[in-house]
Amino acid sequence: MALQLLSKINDPADLRKLQPDSFPDLAEELRSFILDVTAVNPGHLGASLGVIELSIALHYLFDTPNDRLIWDVGHQAYAHKILTGRKELFQSLRKLDGISGFPSRSESDYDAFGTGHASTALSAAVGMAVAAGLQGNHSRHHIAVIGDGAITGGMFFEALNQAGAADLNLIIILNDNGIAIDKSAGALKDYLIRQAEKHSSQAFSNPLFEAFGIACNGPVDGHNFAELLPALEAVKAMKGVRLLHVITTKGKGFERAEKDQVRYHAPGTFDRLTGELPKAKPVENRIPLYQEVFGETLLELAKKYPELVGVTPAMPTGSHLLPLLETFPERCFDVGIAEQHALTFSAGLAAEGMLPFCVVYSTFLQRAYDQLIHDVALQNLPVVICVDRAGLVGEDGATHHGVFDLAYLRCIPNLVIAAPMDEKELRHLMFTAAANRKGPFVIRYPRGKTTAMDWKVEPEVVPIGKGRKLSSGSSIAVLSIGHPGNFVKEALEKLAAENIVVSHYDLRFLKPLDEILLKDAFEHHEQIITVEDGVRNGGMGSAVMEWAHENGFGNPVVRLGVPDAFISHGRPEELQYICGFDSNGIVKHIRKLLS
């Protein structure tokens, strides 16, 4: 499609020169441009296609960046990025050294607040609006665009509670498309469906938000400029905290994305004309993902243990809970974007004799730290916490890397913390956790492929705190935990071809540490290297150094992992190389020690 209008827009000032009757054509050009790029450079497709008209309308009517516009969650902000000076950079989306897939304050003045995690925009907007008032600026508008999935997060209601009692120039745009990544779950979804049936561009009764003192407008069709523009103009002219309910369709304008909204949330590469996705081999004919091994093994465990239940905060597809959900729907719970609730809900289940497997992405587990400590660990409840997407996840970048969990988990009493090196070890650890039942058990594993096709081995219950010695060498020992052990294995194979033999220990458990294994490593080797896919500060390497100090060992220890910095976006292998713990980095450090 020729970009006759979009080619002339470099910032919102150019947009405001257009007549509104040209906006439908501009919206089609924006959709086409986003599809052209994301078909070959994968990103979050569906959410951004659903807010094209809303993005145009907001930047047309409001004085951005002076007026503060915050997107919650930020993967719906592609049109916003294109309209605010990043059109020429859009081809670099989510690539190493390219633009972020989420709003980023360091990237543009138009990105008023970084939003990679859900439910945060209203809190930030309230803070900004309060700051503007204290600084004497009462004319600046603060607009928070919040998806219906994101309002299931408790932070939204915490912020709403403060906002409703304050005199602020604050506009809440409720972008209601009935879905987060998976279909929305819970009572709020049903409430919003009832409200959407009252379709009107005029104010109407919205008891939920009016109870907080919020003036409500809508719902309006978010794809119809004839409705959307007047509604936004009316809300803009109002005073105080007000809300506009906008109905949108995720994946709007691309048939496949509208029909299969879950798959086309982030579909990977696809055929630009048909929307068809590359045909995936059946799992039995390829190396599976860790998530697939997890999901199938969880179903196997559920058939063995009738007390087992699965819990996820809005990630049943991503974490591969669908096999459990389809087989035992009454034993699988999607609690919405509510990580804090997910942990304490799981604690309640465990307190009454159930066996909850609470599956949560590493980056989102950060949001439930107090619940993990106070409600699970302190009471020593047998909750199995499955930490998905551990390590450097890649193109989603700093907001989504799961690099802090080893460090922030190991200081918590009562936890068992384990990380499998491969698909077979994941099965063993899941069966071990199900059999343990003496307290909380953490299993962390990365996003992406495992190492082999033959993963359906007979599961074993392994001793708690027992690691493995995988190879024996002379002066150097490498200690690894989790999937990076495969990088060590590859590195040592390269060195073995040069007759350089190095010992390799797979710790398997961070807590408790295998002290017999550590003693063997420190007594029989002059130098130690530790390898992990988490932050070096406070992680596995730090735990090993603490143990060595407490036990009188003075061997030099080199820690490989993520440095003390927020790591940007790029392919996982690129980021692992930059951090220095891929196989090449390990070889380099071993050579350095030997020299």
* Complete DSSP assignment for 485-506: HHHHHHHHHHHHTTT---EEEE
Per-residue pLDDT, 182: 77
Q: Phi then psi for 143, rounded to 5 degrees?
A: -120, 120
pLDDT over 60 (residue 94):
yes
Mean pLDDT in residue range 447-462: 94
Q: Looking at 94, 242, 367, 508, which residue is catalytic?
A: 367
Q: Looking at 339, 423, 425, 532, which residue is catalytic?
A: 339
User: 278: Cβ–Cβ under 8 A, 6 or more apart, which residues?
Assistant: 268, 269, 270
Tens digits of residue pLDDT in 323-363: 999 999 999 999 999 999 999 999 999 999 999 999 999 99
User: 30: Cβ–Cβ under 8 A, 6 or more apart, which residues?
Assistant: 6, 52, 55, 56, 79, 82, 83
Burial of 66 (0-12, 13-18, 19+ CB in 10 A): exposed
pLDDT over 70 (residue 564):
yes
pLDDT band at 204 (very low <50, low <70, confident <90, very high): low
Q: Which residues pair with 471 in a beta bridge?
A: 504
Quick one: how far is CA 20 from the chain centroid? 37
pLDDT over 90 (residue 141):
yes
* Residue percentage of the chain with pLDDT more than 70: 99
Cα separations in angstroms, 580 against 94, 401, 586: 21, 16, 7
Give the closest residue to 339 by CA, choosing from 360, 308, 357. Answer: 360
Query: Is residue 95 among the annotated active site residues?
Result: no
Mean pLDDT in residue range 524-535: 98
User: What are the strands of the beta sheet with 476-480, ordered from one edge?
Assistant: 468-471, 503-506, 476-480, 527-535, 557-562
pLDDT over 80 (residue 592):
yes
Mean pLDDT in residue range 130-143: 98
Amino acid present at 501: V
pLDDT band at 321 (very low <50, low <70, confident <90, very high): very high
Tens digits of residue pLDDT in 220-250: 999 999 999 999 999 999 999 999 999 999 9
Mean pLDDT in residue range 465-490: 97
Q: Which residues pair with 530 in a beta bridge?
A: 479, 559
pLDDT over 90 (residue 282):
no
User: What are the strands of the beta sheet with 509-511, ordered from one edge?
Assistant: 332-334, 308-312, 355-361, 384-388, 441-444, 416-418, 509-511
Q: Considering only the top CATH level, what class is 6-265?
A: alpha beta
Mean pLDDT in residue range 87-108: 97
Per-residue pLDDT, 196: 78
Q: Where are the domains of the chain?
A: 6-265, 288-444, 468-594
* Residue percentage of the chain with pLDDT more than 90: 91
Length of the chain: 595
Report the CATH number of the 468-594 domain.
Answer: 3.40.50.920
Per-residue pLDDT, 434: 98
Same fold, 6-265 and 468-594: yes
pLDDT over 90 (residue 575):
yes
Per-residue pLDDT, 41: 95
Give the closest residue to 33 by CA, choosing from 73, 59, 4. Answer: 4
At CA 363, angle to CA 508 and CA 318, rounded to 5?
85
Which letter does DSSP use for residue 464 in this model? T
Query: Is residue 94 among the annotated active site residues?
Result: no
Q: How far apart are CA 249 and CA 270, in angstroms?
A: 20
pLDDT band at 199 (very low <50, low <70, confident <90, very high): low
pLDDT over 80 (residue 200):
no
Per-residue pLDDT, 201: 42
Both tokens of residue 338?
Answer: 């509510």
Tens digits of residue pLDDT in 26-46: 999 999 999 999 999 999 999
Burial of 424 (0-12, 13-18, 19+ CB in 10 A): buried
Q: Looking at 31, 87, 94, 250, which residue is catalytic?
A: 250
CATH number (3.40.50.970, 3.40.50.1820, 2.30.40.10, 3.40.50.720) of 288-444 reads 3.40.50.970
Average pLDDT over all residues of the chain: 95
